[in-house]
Each structure stands twice: as C-alpha cells, then as structure tokens.
Amino acid sequence: MEKEVSYNKHSFEIGNLDKTFYPSAGLTKGDIIEYYEKIADTILPYLKNRPLTLQRFPNGIDDKNFYQKDKPDYFPDWIKSIKTKKQEGGKIEYVMCNDKASLIYLVNQAGIIFHTGLSTKNNLNKPDKIIIDLDPSTTNFETIKTAAERIRKIIEEKLNATAFVMTTGSRGLHVMLPIKPEEGFDTVREFSQNLATYIAKQYPEDLTTAVRKNKRENKLFLDVARNALGQTAVCPYSLRAIKNAPIATPLEWDELAKLESAQAYTLGNIFRRLAQKDDPWKKFSEKAVSFKSLKEKLEKL
C-alpha cells in the first residue's frame, strides 16, 4: 500500500504501510507513521537542530536493524544536515529533523527510534544538557526510582539547578540537567563524572560509578558516558523497538512514585496521557543554568 503525502509544500510517497513492524502488538508501518504524524508538534522541539542518529528497522523490530548517521545521497535536499568532525578523523554529515516533512520522511525509511546529540548546530562542541542514565540489567525499578529522587535532591538542593526525569521506554530512567552551552564536551563530561562520584559517595551502599560490572556488587550504576562528543540519547517521545511499542516519556517528579515501569507509556496510551497532562518538559531549555556556576558549586561540596 502506497500513497503520496505533502507537508510544508514537500511531497513524497510513503509505502509498505501494511507491513507489520510490531508483530506482538499488531502494529504496522502505517501505524508508526500515524503516531509520528500525531506527535510531531510535541517531539520536534527535541529534535530540531540536533545531529540525529536514526535507528532503522526495514522489516520490523524482530528483524535486522541498523543505525544511520550520515545523510545518504538519495535523501531530498530539503532535509537539513550538518557536517562535523569525527573523533577518529574525517567528517560526518548528520541528518537533522527540523520539520514534520523530515520527520515523516525518516519514519518512511523505517526509522523507528530517534537518538539525538547533546548539542545543537549553533554550538556543536558545547552540550546544553547533562544526562545521568539509570538503565540497569538487574536492579528492580523501585531502586531506580529511589536513585532518581536522590539525584534530583542533590542537583536541586546542592547545585541550585533543575533536574528533569524521563522514562527511557526501555529499562530505566534518564535524569537530565539543562545547562547553558558554555564549555566543551570534555569539560562537561569530567564534571558529570565528578557529580556522579559525589552522588555515589552519599549513598555508597546503593550507588556506584564502577564501569566494570564485576566491580558493582549489585549496586546501581550511575552512567554518565553519554556526556561525550559523538554520543547520543533517545529523544523524548521516540518509540522504542520493544514488543508493546513503549515510548520515552518525560515525567513530572510527582508521577514517579506510582510509576511501575519504564515502559508504562506506549503508543496505545500516550495520547490519552497528553490529553490530560501537557508535556512536562516544555520549559526544559528555559531552566538551563550556567555551567561555570555548577562547576563552582560542586567543587565546594
């Protein structure tokens, strides 16, 4: 099944709409395109002007997939891109998803999961957020929620900044701290590592920064590796390639106590949620704080 669509004066064909993408949930490619059409106004602010890594599943989530960073030659010119240096040398031309036409075009390429960089095209080498990833393999979800609340308390009470929380749509949570793009990735990553070390020292029986799994002693790992040049994080409101079509979902902190799973919000209930509650992260960028002041506060602790 194919049809021609038009967004922002850009027309193109979308096809294979009846192909099954989520076998267990009975969701087709057409259902996935419909989701991203409906969520476009909500997700686009989180995608705009950021280097994008698209995870594509040509034959659905139970088959092979691959990550796309470089903009292919066959992509239309109206899809924006940005060139940047690779860590290992050379350059890469990242796709950007700045409008609804680009979003639906990329989904039509079997793009299910959107991973974004931590900086924008105006300050490519200076991140505007810090991420602490709580995504364990064994720890139960209640432990993850407790850790998120502890991180929030330290960020807000000790650093006088605002912490945000999001389900990953997979196993855990992301706690994020919006910052002004003042320093390079190396400096910000060093700070995030120091922050994680400080947090872990406050709760040594429960939290760890040990990278090696055999050193963690069943403690929850505070992962800050995403705060590096070239790293990405799942975009808010992106689908995940898991059988019930869960969605990475921003939360209010008072929702955390009753949350039972990082996969609580799915394609089946996300719009009911958004009809009852506006996007909790609408003011994320407005809450950005000076990185220099954060660094000074942490050094005094």
List the chain domain ranges: 2-117, 129-229+286-299
**Total H helices, total E strands in the chain:** 6, 16
Q: Which CATH architecture has domain 2-117?
A: Alpha-Beta Complex (3.90)
Average pLDDT, the chain: 94
C-alpha to C-alpha distance for 128 and 188, rounded to whole angstroms: 10
Task: Note whether 173 and 145 are within 8 A (CB).
Answer: yes
Task: Note whether 159 and 297 are within 8 A (CB).
Answer: yes
Facing residues of 93 across strands?
A: 83
pLDDT of residue 8: 85
Tokens at 55, concatenated: 């995870």
Alpha-carbon distance values, 91 to 82, 85, 112 (Å): 10, 4, 25
The yes or no reply on domain 129-229+286-299 and CATH 3.40.630.30 is no
pLDDT of residue 175: 98
pLDDT of residue 85: 75
Evaluate if pTM is beyond 0.85: yes
pLDDT of residue 2: 82
The number of angstroms, rounded, from the C-alpha of 273 to the middle of its chain's C-alpha atoms is 19
Decide the pairing of beta strands 207-208 and 220-221.
parallel
Tokens at 91, concatenated: 């350059």
Residue 17, φ and ψ in degrees, nearest 5: -65, -25
pLDDT of residue 138: 67
Q: Do the two domains 2-117 and 129-229+286-299 of this chain adopt the same fold?
A: yes
- Is 31 strand, coil or helix? helix
Q: Which of 7, 105, 94, 91 is nearest to 51 (CA)?
A: 94
Q: Which residues of the chain have pLDDT under 70?
A: 87, 137-139
Q: What is the CA radius of gyration of the chain?
A: 19
pLDDT of residue 211: 80
Facing residues of 12 across strands?
A: 5
